[in-house]
Amino acid sequence: MSIEIPLLSVRNLVTTVSTATGPRPVVDDLSFDLAPGETLCIAGESGSGKSMTALSLMQLLPQPMARVASGSAVFKGRDLFTLPKEAMRQVRGNDIAMIFQEPMTSLNPVLTIGRQLIETITAHESTSLSQARQRALELLNQVQIPEAARRLQQYPYELSGGMRQRVMIAMALSQNPDILIADEPTTALDVTVQAQILSLIRKLQAETGTAVIMITHDMGVVAEMANRVLVMKDGRAVEAGPVRDIFAMPQAPYTQALLAAVPRLGEMTGTTMPKRAVRTWEQTAPKEVVDVDNLTVRFPIRSGFFGRVERRVHAVEGIGFKLYRGETLALVGESGCGKSTTGKALLNLVPFTGDVRIAGTHTQGLRSDQMKPVRRDIQMIFQDPFASLDPRMRVGDLVAEPLRIHGLATGSELTDRVAYLFKRVGLSADLLERYPHEFSGGQRQRICIARALSLSPKIIVADESVSALDVSIQAQVLDLLQDIQNETGIAYLFISHDMGVVEQISHRVAVMYLGRFVEVGTRAQVFDNPQHPYTKALIAAVPVPDPERAPKRFSRLTGDIPSSVRPLSYEPPTAIYRDVGDGHLVAELS
Q: How far is the CB of 5 from another protein (least distance, A)?
A: 25
Q: Name the nearest CA neighbour of 574 among 508, 512, 517.
A: 517
**305 near another protein, judged by CB under 8 A:** yes
Among 18, 105, 271, 280, binds another protein (CB under 8 A): 105
Q: Whose Cβ is closer to another protein: residue 165's or residue 199's? A: 165
Site map (CB under 8 A) of another protein, residues 3-42, x = contact: ----------------------------------------
Nearest CB to another protein, comparing residues 44 and 156:
156
Residue 246, helix vs strand vs coil: helix
Beta bridge partners of 57: none
Polymer length of the chain: 590
Secondary structure letter of residue 92 according to DSSP: B
Q: Which of 67, 124, 287, 424 binds another protein (CB under 8 A)?
A: 124
Angle, helix 441-453 to helix 471-488, in steps of 10 degrees: 20
H or E stretch at 223:
helix 219-225
Q: Is 102 in the site for another protein (CB under 8 A)?
A: yes
Q: Which residue in 17, 74, 123, 431 binds another protein (CB under 8 A)?
A: 123
Binds another protein by CB under 8 A, chosen from 2, 21, 64, 284: 64
With binding defined as CB under 8 A, does residue 92 bind another protein? yes
Q: What angle do CA 537, 542, 544 make, to 5 degrees?
A: 135
Q: Which of 7, 30, 68, 91 binds another protein (CB under 8 A)?
A: 91
Q: Which is nearer to another protein, 174 or 506 (CB)?
A: 174
User: Does 391 contact another protein by CB under 8 A?
Assistant: no
State in angstroms the smallest separation of the CB of 93 from another protein: 3
Q: How far is CA 387 from CA 348, 384, 465, 478, in A?
A: 21, 6, 12, 20
Which segment (92-100, 204-212, 379-387, 434-442) binds another protein by CB under 8 A? 92-100
Smallest separation (angstroms) from another protein to the CB of 463:
26
Closer residue to another protein (CB): 58 or 265: 58
* Separation of alpha carbons 369 and 248, rounded Å: 57
Question: Do β-strands 378-381 and 459-463 pair in parallel, antiparallel, or remain unpaired?
Answer: parallel
Binding to another protein by residue 257, rule CB under 8 A? no
For another protein, the closer CB: 155 or 299: 155
Cβ-in-10-Å burial (0-12, 13-18, 19+) of 249 comes to exposed
Q: What's the one-letter identity of residue 449?
A: I
As to burial, measured by CB atoms within 10 angstroms (0-12 exposed, 13-18 middle, 19+ buried), residue 126 is exposed
Nearest-angstrom CA–CA distance, 170 and 175: 10
Please state, in angstroms and rounded to a whole number, the distance separating the CA atoms of residues 471 and 147. 39
In whole angstroms, the minimum distance from the beta carbon of 308 to another protein comes to 11
**Of 70, 303, 410, 558, which lies in the binding site for another protein, with binding defined by CB under 8 A?**
303
Site string for another protein, 174-203 (x = CB under 8 A): -x----------------------------
Regarding 97 and contact with another protein (CB under 8 A), the answer is yes
In DSSP notation, 370-389 reads HHHHHHTTEEEE-S-TTTSS
CB-based contact 531:580 (threshold 8 Å): yes
User: Does the protein bind another protein through residue 168 (CB under 8 A)?
Assistant: yes
CA distance 118 to 129: 8
Distances (CA, A) of 347 to 185, 364, 366: 35, 10, 11
434: left (phi over 0), alpha (psi -120 to 50) or beta: beta
Stretch that binds another protein, among 115-123, 215-223, 240-248, 407-415 (CB under 8 A): 115-123
# chain residues binding another protein, by CB under 8 A: 32
**Residue 111 within binding range of another protein, rule CB under 8 A:** yes
Binding segment (CB under 8 A) for another protein, from list 14-22, 73-81, 97-105, 347-355: 97-105
Q: Distances in Å between the alpha carbon of 129 and those of 40, 123, 137?
A: 36, 12, 12
Residues numbered 71 to 90 that lie near another protein (CB under 8 A) are 89-90
Determine, following the binding rule CB under 8 A, whether residue 127 of this chain makes contact with another protein. no
Distance of closest approach, residue 80 Cβ to another protein, in angstroms? 13
CB of 90 to another protein, least distance (A): 6
The Cα angle at residue 343 between residues 339 and 344, in degrees rounded to 5: 115
Residues that bind another protein (CB under 8 A): 58, 60, 64, 89-94, 97-98, 100, 102, 105-111, 119-120, 123-124, 155, 157, 168, 171, 175, 303-305
